[in-house]
Every structure is written in C-alpha cells, then in structure tokens.
Amino acid sequence: MERRTEKILVFIALIAAAVGLRLYFQVIPNFAPIAAVALFAGFYFSNRWFAVLVPIGAMVISDQFIGGYQPFLMAVVYSFLILPAFLGSPLRKILQDRGAMTTTLSLVGCSLTSSLLFFVATNFACWLVSSWYPRSLAGLWQCYVAAIPFFRYTLMGDLFFAGVLFGGYALFHAKTTATTLNRVSVD
C-alpha cells in the first residue's frame, strides 16, 4: 500500500475510533480516548497539523451527538486535548532510540503530563466562567477537589487508550518486521 494512502486510512481510522469510543464510554465521565489518540497521532504523523486535526475532528464530530457547553470552556477543553499531539513528535524520537523500559516510562510520562495539564487548565476555566464556585482561592480549591473523581477517570482513560494504541502499534510493527525478515531470508 502506498504510504500516503496508509496515512489517510490511519487518519480516518483514528478519528472514527475516537468518536465511537467517546460515544460508547460517555456514561463514564472523562473516560475518553481523545488525549491518547492525539498523542498517538503526534507520534505517527510527521506533520503536526495533520496530527492536531485528529483530536479536533473527533471532538467536533462526537460533540454533535453529545452536545456542547460554554464556548470558552469548550475552547480550553479542545486546546488541552490537542496538546498531546505536540508531545507525540518528541515521543517518536525517544521510542526510536531507547529500550522497552524507557519507552514505557516515556509513554506513561507523556500521558500523565497530558492528563494533569488537562485537569489543571479545564478546572481553572470551569471555576473562572461558572457560577458554581466563589471567586476566591477557597472557591478554586473547591473546584479542584470536586473534580478529583473525574480526574481519576481521565487518568484511567488516557493510560488505558494510550496503552492499547501504542501496544497495538508495537505488536503490528513487530509482526510486519518479522514477516518482512522471514520473506527476505526465504528469498
């Protein structure tokens, strides 16, 4: 298969999978594949803007079914869900040059960083634009404390989906490499 066709198929598959899984798991708050898909897209696609279109496309399509919310808060959510796409390129360099332990730790580190930044930014934005919490440090603290159960689901979702994506890619890559080596040795 031509490399360009492969990239387009992966692009479409990532968006479709992210939309489907986000809709399927919407009953579990914040347990979504979007950040993991963004991280994988940043890893897989050398063009950063192409990688950024994956989480944006998945969010725009799935939000048509789930619904929207306060525009400023949506902008913050979208912004911090595309952030992992920018971590994917440095992650690609690490994964190419390091062993399995460093690779795993780097992937977990990028995923946790994305989750933490998402938590901090989106809850700050929620506190800033909503009337749910007083405009004070105590109100901001209340907002973050109230969001901890959701953060747990964010962490679980980001780590789970990143593990599935990167693990699946590693298995596929190992299988295709082994098949190519076997074919070369037989010829």
Which residues of the chain fall below pLDDT 50?
181, 184-186
| Residue 37 and residue 85 in contact, taking contact as beta carbons nearer than 8 Å | no
**Nearest one of 80, 143, 145 to 115, comparing CA atoms:** 80
pLDDT value of residue 37: 96
Q: How far is residue 112's CA from residue 48's CA, in Å, rounded to a whole number? A: 21
pTM of the model: 0.86
pLDDT value of residue 108: 87
- CA atoms within 13 Å, Cβ hemisphere of 54: 34
| Residue 131 and residue 186 in contact, taking contact as beta carbons nearer than 8 Å | no
Q: What are the structural domain ranges in the chain?
A: 3-186
Q: How far is residue 35's CA from residue 183's CA, in Å, rounded to a whole number? A: 37
* Number of residues that make up the chain: 187
The structural architecture, per CATH, of the domain 3-186 is Orthogonal Bundle (1.10)
pLDDT value of residue 159: 95
Q: How far is residue 148's CA from residue 73's CA, in Å, rounded to a whole number? A: 18
Tokens of 30: 């914040």
pLDDT value of residue 94: 65
